[in-house]
Amino acid sequence: MAEGFQPNLVGFLCNWCSYAAADLAGSNRLEVPASLTTIRVMCSSRVNPVFLLAAYLRGADGILLAGCHPGDCHYLTGNYYARRRFALLIKILETFGIGSGRFRLSWISASEGQRFAQVTNEFAQSILKLGPSPIKSRPFLD
């Protein structure tokens, strides 16, 4: 692990639940990783796996995809599609040498600001233990 390493985290957050939970965590002044860049999406199912691969290639050490709890999606079945899609994505990530530990899928409702803070802090700690992304140091990215 690099000395003074601070992981670059990207969070794709559902507009209706997890983004609202992030807002609640901020309103309650709960501690979340400062290196977390949030991207608001209308539904977790709308996140194309290509977006995640692009984020890794641009320097992300870890990516969090968070949406409504299964059965509570504002678009009825969006989170089921997301869960299925990203089960396959984990195999692709391993092919690229990224490893499944650098990706996390979580269900966080709008009222769970405390859970949002807990999930993001645990994820940041796990990425900190893994160190910088292995594809970050590849010469073709420079």
Q: What's the CATH class of domain 9-135?
A: alpha beta
The pLDDT score that the predictor gives to residue 2 is 58
Nearest to 64 by CA among 14, 110, 20: 14
Q: What is the mean pLDDT of the chain?
A: 90
Q: How many whole angstroms separate alpha carbon 124 and alpha carbon 32?
A: 9
Looking at the chain, how many residues does it have? 142
List pLDDT tens digits, range 5-29: 999 999 999 999 999 999 999 999 9
Q: What is the mean pLDDT of residues 68-94?
A: 87
**Can you tell me which residue has the tokens 């794709």?**
12
Q: Is the pLDDT of residue 63 over 90?
A: yes
The SS3 assignment for 62 reads strand
Tell me the backbone φ, ψ of residue 63, rounded to 5 degrees.
Answer: -130, 135
The residue type found at 45 is S
Q: Which residues have a Cβ under 8 Å from the Cβ of 83 and sit 6 or more positions away?
A: 70, 105
What pTM does this model have? 0.90
Query: In this structure, how many other beta carbons lie within 10 angstroms of the beta carbon of residue 126?
Result: 14
CB 30 within 8 A of CB 82: no
Q: How many whole angstroms separate alpha carbon 106 and alpha carbon 119?
A: 8
Q: Domain residue spans in the chain?
A: 9-135
Q: What is the mean pLDDT of residues 93-118?
A: 93
